[in-house]
Amino acid sequence: MSHTKFYELLGVSKDASVEEIRKAYKKLAIRLHPDKNPDNPEALEKFKEVSGAYEVLSDPEKRQIYDKYGEEGLQGKGGFHDPSSIFETFFGGGFADIFGRRGGPRRGDDLKYSLGVTLRDLYNGKTAKLKITKNVICDECLGQGSLKEGGTSQCAPCRGRGVKVMLRPIGPGMVQQIQTACPECQGKGEVIDEKDRCQQCAGKKVIPETIVQEFVVERGMEWGDTIVRRGEGDQQPKMTPGDLIIVLQQKGDKEEYFNQFKRHGSDLIFRHQLTLNEALTGFKIMVRQLDGRILSIAKTGEVFKPKDVLMVEGEGMPKEGNPYEKGRLFIEIEVLFPTYKQLGKSVNQLKGLLPQPGPSKVTPKDDTVEDVESRKVDFEEEKRKGQRRGGDDDDEDDERAGPQPCMQSIM
């Protein structure tokens, strides 16, 4: 009778070598380990079966008995051990140790990506897709860098520490200790002969993997906020993977109208231009909110000046964690004055309708009044011109003055 169950569990043939059995178990054990499948009881059961099969087939005496008599022939041979202990014996440590999770684990670097979002995205929330490229453990050599048994050896120059210490003199009797990555092993602490390197990862133990992941941008989040995926950063053998961190960056809206909205905490600010007619006689304006709703705002019986502000409660940004609670919407009023040409013949009519100027606060004598020319200018630009001109004039005065005599103190 042919006994093949254990061989089938490991996915090897009956004449497989010990090395082939070892490699098969290694792949299956890492994939099925309970630490990696905490919510999958089927994986735990399979892990036990695979570990039991390996325990038998890796031992020449037990394998011979199994081939001849099957599982019944193994009775009285001590039975199967704890599958986790088999795993630890095989790898020289538990699953957590292999990936650096126990006793002050070494942790890999975080992987950071930027995700551009508009103010509309932050107001409404969205699910965004992002292409992520990260390093993962090579599935050919399982992070060993070599398929050959003993192909990886300790780096001699740094004695496996990955760093070299150098002493640099910085003064009489004083030296500075500098620690640098070992140039021989690039800080890895081990080396692999070129001919023994894994063909898939070239001995690097990791390979790049590009995947598209979805990220949920919650309503009310802010630019600069992060979305963190724990343990989904770059992988490195014997290290806990770092985190994958997505940073929300500001992006302009394709629809220019919505770029008029500005955010201030949980409040929104929107600028709206009124004609002089509206500012004086009243108005009804329509504001398209960031979620597409139209807000109608009407005002009569009031005169509005430039920089006046209207406030609407509950129409600001949603508050993160409680999107049904919102801040305020502020509408800054700008008044668009007509040109003299647009007024045309209405100028005299306006003079009669609008309030007349009050009495002058200055009562000069006739012989002190002087008519001067003036023109409209950009005040900020004129101030800048004045600063530049003032600097030039100072230089010219210095040149004309020539060397100045030394002033002696008489005190």
Q: Tens digit of pLDDT for each residue in 163-192? A: 887 777 777 767 777 878 888 887 777 888
Q: Which DSSP letter does residue 334 get? A: E
Q: Give the pLDDT mean for 344-372.
A: 71
* Between residues 302 and 72, the one the model is more confident about: 302
Q: Which DSSP letter does residue 407 get? A: P
- Alpha-carbon distance of 356 to 342, in angstroms, equals 21
Percent of the chain, pLDDT > 90?
A: 30
3-state secondary structure of 341: helix
Span of 50-59, 310-319, 361-370, 392-401 with lowest mean pLDDT: 392-401
> What is the chain's alpha carbon radius of gyration, rounded to the nearest angstrom?
39
Checking if the pLDDT of 396 tops 70, the result is: no
CATH topology of domain 256-341: HSP40/DNAj peptide-binding domain (2.60.260)
Cα→Cα distances 235→135, 208, 219, 243, Å = 6, 10, 32, 10
Q: Which pLDDT does position 407 carry in this prediction?
A: 44
Binned at pLDDT 50, 70 and 90, residue 274 comes out as: very high
* Between residues 393 and 185, the one the model is more confident about: 185
Among 151, 133, 142, which Cα is nearest to 208's? Answer: 133
Question: What pTM does this model have?
Answer: 0.59
Biggest CA-to-CA distance, the chain? 133
Q: Give the pLDDT mean for 344-360.
A: 71
Q: Which pLDDT does position 410 carry in this prediction?
A: 38
With both helix axes pointing from N to C terminus, report the angle between 41-57 and 18-32 in degrees, rounded to the nearest 10: 160
- Alpha-carbon distance of 98 to 31, in angstroms, equals 13
- What does 43-57 look like in DSSP terms, one character per residue? HHHHHHHHHHHHHHH
Residue 344 has φ and ψ, to the nearest 5°, of 55, -125
Checking if the pLDDT of 90 tops 60, the result is: no
Q: Which pLDDT does position 88 carry in this prediction?
A: 52
CATH of 5-98, one of 3.40.47.10, 1.10.287.110, 1.10.599.10, 3.50.50.60: 1.10.287.110
Span of 64-73, 218-227, 294-303, 364-373 with lowest mean pLDDT: 364-373
Examine domains 111-250 and 256-341 and report if their fold is the same. Answer: yes
* Between residues 66 and 171, the one the model is more confident about: 66
- Alpha-carbon distance of 387 to 393, in angstroms, equals 10
Q: What are 92-118's pLDDT values in tens digits?
A: 444 444 444 444 457 778 899 999 999
Span of 143-152, 253-262, 268-277 with lowest mean pLDDT: 143-152
Other residues' Cβ atoms within 10 Å of the Cβ of residue 70: 15
Q: Which DSSP letter does residue 357 get? A: P
Each domain of the chain, given as residue ranges in start order, spans 5-98, 111-250, 256-341
Decide: 239 and 263 in contact? Cβ < 8 Å. no
Decide: 369 and 362 in contact? Cβ < 8 Å. no
Tell me, rounded to whole angstroms, the distance of Cα 392 from its chain centroid. Answer: 48
3-state secondary structure of 309: strand
Checking if the pLDDT of 51 tops 80, the result is: yes
Average model confidence (pLDDT) across the chain: 81
State the virtual CA torsion across 76, 92, 100, 206 in degrees, nearest 10: -110
Residues 6+ apart with CB under 8 A from 335: 273, 274, 275, 276, 279, 304, 305, 306
Identity (one letter) of the amino acid at 402? G
Among 329, 334, 333, which Cα is nearest to 288's? Answer: 329
CATH topology of domain 111-250: HSP40/DNAj peptide-binding domain (2.60.260)
